[in-house]
Amino acid sequence: MEQYKGRAIVQKIAAGRIWFYTKEEQSVKRYRVEDTEKEWKRYEAARDEAVRELNGLREKAVRELGEINAAIFEAHALMLEDRDYSDSVKNIIETQGVNAEYAVAATGDNFARMFSGMEDEYFRAKAADVQDISERVIGILSGRRKRKKMGKEPVIVVAEDLAPSETVQMDKSKVLGFVTRQGSSQSHTAILARTMNLPALIGVPVREEWDGKMAVLDGVNGLLYVDPDEETLENMRKLQKEEQERIRLLTEYKDQETVTKSGRRVRLCANVGSVSDVAGALQNGAEGIGLFRSEYLFLEADHCPTEEEQFQTYRLAVEMMAGKPVVIRTIDIGADKRAPYMEGEPFHLEQETNPAMGLRGIRLSLEKEELFKTQLRAILRAGAYGEVSILYPLITSVEEFKRAKALLKEVEEELADFGIPCGKVRQGVMIETPAAAVLSDLLAAEAEFFSIGTNDLSQYTMAVDRENPRTEEYFDSHHPALLRLIEYTVKNARAAGIPVGICGDLGSDESLTEFFVKVGVDELSVPPSRVLPLREKIRNID
């Protein structure tokens, strides 16, 4: 048995086999070939395999997501079977005498540039699609698709590091927990682990040779056991039973009010990243969705979600909450939250020296107006089915918020002109920059509510990169400057008569719950698994 120490993210225990995740190599090499006919046949076989894959994905999507969300796979299969595309690949192979991988990559780039330059928005959207199908064929040709996939049994995912775009695309029903060498307790992967309520360790010296071995992830003590002995397994089973009993006792709070002994009412909502998370929110008695992270809809996809795809997702979440409030944060793509297709239309995300302070959040939305308006239309349409609010991320000035409000009004008028039903949504500011906190008195005059994003507010206040484990020792969740900014923001919100909530990780910190209640926070929005423990905590505050 081997034992390794790490930093625990979620204090739970999991036992199962290790699945070592390795990143796929993205580069395509160009080399000369003698037998171009053989190379062409390689391409044809890979193309046919890709079409079979896409048809299979379409059938799976129809069963799980419906016809609308499955249409993209059918469209991709048709593009692969297009004669112009295949003729281009064949021409490059034969005239240049090069390998099929390079011919496909070149064809994908050429077609993407062609579509991007067209005036028609429909054809411009095809640029990302053609890049995606090209990458699929290249993956088959190069053998990268043969990398071992998750089996039928749930596993402990072990990796050097995990990007949000990688974790969100995993089959969550098969993940028991996460173990990585890199990352920090404030990283987005850590946030996802909390949302999924899965044990996670960071800072573990992982090794690929562990793949397939039995392991125990002890999130309580921050330990990973590889090839555990029977005694260790038995101790872990006991701890798991204790945790299950604790969860059972908490269920008595599910339908109770979130109110202190002195009568102070606090709304307890849930943070979610997908429709599947909404079920967990309801199961744990959440009083609403305080933060729907819409960017995960984009990260889980292999293309930019259309207005209809977004609308169907938001509508389903709103309908599931059955009248309870749903706050949808507009896309917060950028920094470490990006997917391969975002290098093309309509994002054109470039590598940045300091992405945390780069083109992200509301900045990206205001620069990519059509992308932003598409999302606003989808949210407004979903608003016809329940109580919906819009939350704008990374606001640093009153002018940014006014521009966002103006675009929403423009979209609202467009929908009315076409007779498309939409709801009246509230508009709020996410207070996650010191600038927004300092200007909270001015922003409160324009906003209908505040939601304090403590993850980024902490990062920017203390100048600590949340993705850098080397600066973790400088992070202090109880830093006086941070708490002062929160208290100042709440004071200004209450003076203006608008509600204010906490939607960052600090909302789950029970050592700060009493502070939040006393300064006047109206709402705490936390991972679904934290709703009941916090309700118990608040009901015992005098």
Mean pLDDT of 421-437: 96
pLDDT bucket at 414, cuts 50 / 70 / 90: very high
> In this model, does residue 190 exceed pLDDT 90?
no
Secondary structure, 3-state, 195-227: HHCCCEEECCCCCHHHCCCEEEEECCCCEEEEC
> In this model, does residue 369 exceed pLDDT 90?
yes
Contact 206, 180 (CB under 8 A): yes
Q: Do residue 358 and residue 287 come from a single domain?
A: yes
pLDDT of residue 376: 98
Domain that holds residue 6: 2-20+150-249
Mean pLDDT of 399-425: 96
Residue 136 marked in a binding site: no
Distance separating alpha carbons of residues 458 and 477, to the nearest angstrom: 7
pLDDT of residue 514: 95
Contact 493, 499 (CB under 8 A): yes
Residue 191 lies in a domain: yes
Long-range CB contact pairs, 51-54, < 8 A, 24+: 51/77, 51/80, 51/81, 53/136, 54/80, 54/136
Q: Do residue 208 and residue 315 come from a single domain?
A: no
What is the DSSP annotation of 68-101?
Answer: HHHHHHHHHHHHHT-HHHHHHHHHHHHHHTB-HH
Contact 200, 10 (CB under 8 A): yes
**CATH number of the domain bearing residue 174:** 3.50.30.10
325 preceded by cis ω (within 30°)?
no
Q: Do residue 167 and residue 296 come from a single domain?
A: no
Q: Do residue 93 and residue 182 come from a single domain?
A: no
Helix (H, G, I), strand (E, B) or coil at 50: helix
Residue with the bigger pLDDT between 205 and 10: it is 205
Contact 454, 447 (CB under 8 A): no
Name the phi and psi angles at 60, rounded to 5: -65, -40
Q: What would the pLDDT profile of 102-152 be if each residue is shown by its tens digit?
A: 999 999 888 888 777 766 655 666 776 787 788 888 888 887 654 456 777
Q: Which has the minimum average pLDDT: 327-331, 333-337, 382-386?
A: 333-337
Residue with the bigger pLDDT between 472 and 382: it is 382
Please give the tally of structural domains in the chain: 3
Identify the sign of the CA torsion 229, 235, 238, 239: negative
> From the candidates 188, 269, 304, 422, which is the catalytic residue?
188
pLDDT bucket at 65, cuts 50 / 70 / 90: very low
To the query of whether residue 188 is one of the catalytic residues in this protein, the response is yes
pLDDT of residue 356: 76
Task: Give the domain-ending residue among 189, 215, 249.
Answer: 249
Residue 310 lies in a domain: yes
pLDDT of residue 144: 62
Residue 30 lies in a domain: no
pLDDT of residue 21: 87
Mean pLDDT of 195-220: 88
> In this model, does residue 296 exceed pLDDT 70?
yes
Q: Which has the minimum average pLDDT: 18-22, 380-384, 420-424, 535-539?
A: 18-22
Query: Position 34: which residue type?
Result: E
Q: What would the pLDDT profile of 502-523 be if each residue is shown by its tens digit?
A: 998 899 999 999 999 999 999 9
pLDDT of residue 341: 77
Contact 391, 365 (CB under 8 A): no
**CATH number of the domain bearing residue 434:** 3.20.20.60
CA-nearest of 206, 184, 190, 163 to 470 is 184
Q: Do residue 268 and residue 300 come from a single domain?
A: yes
Secondary structure, 3-state, 463-528: CCCCCCHHHHHHCCCCCHHHHHHHHHHHHHHHHHCCCEEECCHHHHCHHHHHHHHHHCCCEEEECH
Half-sphere exposure of 75 (CA within 13 A, CB side): 17
pLDDT bucket at 80, cuts 50 / 70 / 90: confident
Residue 260 lies in a domain: yes
Contact 497, 447 (CB under 8 A): no
pLDDT of residue 394: 96
pLDDT of residue 242: 79
> From the candidates 269, 304, 422, 503, which is the catalytic residue?
503
Residue with the bigger pLDDT between 282 and 76: it is 282
Distance separating alpha carbons of residues 270 and 427, to the nearest angstrom: 19
Distance separating alpha carbons of residues 282 and 269, to the nearest angstrom: 10
Q: Do residue 462 and residue 431 come from a single domain?
A: yes
Residue 530 marked in a binding site: no
Residue 302 marked in a binding site: no
> In this model, does residue 34 exceed pLDDT 80?
yes
pLDDT bucket at 27, cuts 50 / 70 / 90: low
Q: Which has the minimum average pLDDT: 62-71, 312-321, 322-331, 496-505?
A: 62-71
Residue 539 marked in a binding site: no
Question: In whole angstroms, what separates CA 303 from the centre of its chain?
Answer: 15
**CATH number of the domain bearing residue 137:** 1.10.274.10
The radius of gyration of the chain's CA atoms, rounded to the nearest angstrom, is 25
Contact 512, 462 (CB under 8 A): no
Residue 293 marked in a binding site: yes
Task: Give the domain-ending residue among 249, 275, 307.
Answer: 249
Q: Do residue 55 and residue 96 come from a single domain?
A: yes
Distances (CA, A) of 68 to 73, 172, 184: 10, 22, 38
Residue 208 lies in a domain: yes
Residue 65 lies in a domain: yes
Mean pLDDT of 277-302: 90
Residue 31 lies in a domain: no
By the 10 Å C-beta count (0-12 exposed, 13-18 middle, 19+ buried), 317 is classed as: buried
What is the DSSP annotation of 93-132?
Answer: HHHHTB-HHHHHHHHHHHHHHHHHT-SSHHHHTHHHHHHH
pLDDT of residue 338: 72
Distance separating alpha carbons of residues 227 and 257, to the nearest angstrom: 45
Q: What would the pLDDT profile of 436-446 be if each residue is shown by its tens digit?
A: 999 999 999 99
Q: Do residue 90 and residue 141 come from a single domain?
A: yes
Q: Do residue 217 and residue 192 come from a single domain?
A: yes
Task: Give the domain-ending residue among 202, 230, 249.
Answer: 249
Residue with the bigger pLDDT between 153 and 148: it is 153
Q: Do residue 135 and residue 160 come from a single domain?
A: no
Q: Do residue 336 and residue 233 come from a single domain?
A: no
For 350, residues 6+ apart whose C-beta sits below 8 A from its C-beta are 343
Q: Do residue 162 and residue 186 come from a single domain?
A: yes
> In this model, does residue 79 exceed pLDDT 80?
yes
Residue 447 lies in a domain: yes
Mean pLDDT of 222-226: 93
Distance separating alpha carbons of residues 184 and 201, to the nearest angstrom: 9
To the query of whether residue 503 is one of the catalytic residues in this protein, the response is yes
Describe the strand order of the beta sheet including 155-159 as a list of residue ranges.
Answer: 2-5, 223-226, 214-218, 13-20, 155-159, 175-180, 200-202, 7-10
Residue 271 marked in a binding site: no
Place of tokens 């920059």: 433
Tell me which DSSP letter residue 336 carries: T
- Name the average pLDDT for the chain: 87
Mean pLDDT of 147-168: 76
> In this model, does residue 66 exceed pLDDT 70?
no
Q: Which has the minimum average pLDDT: 98-112, 174-188, 441-455?
A: 174-188
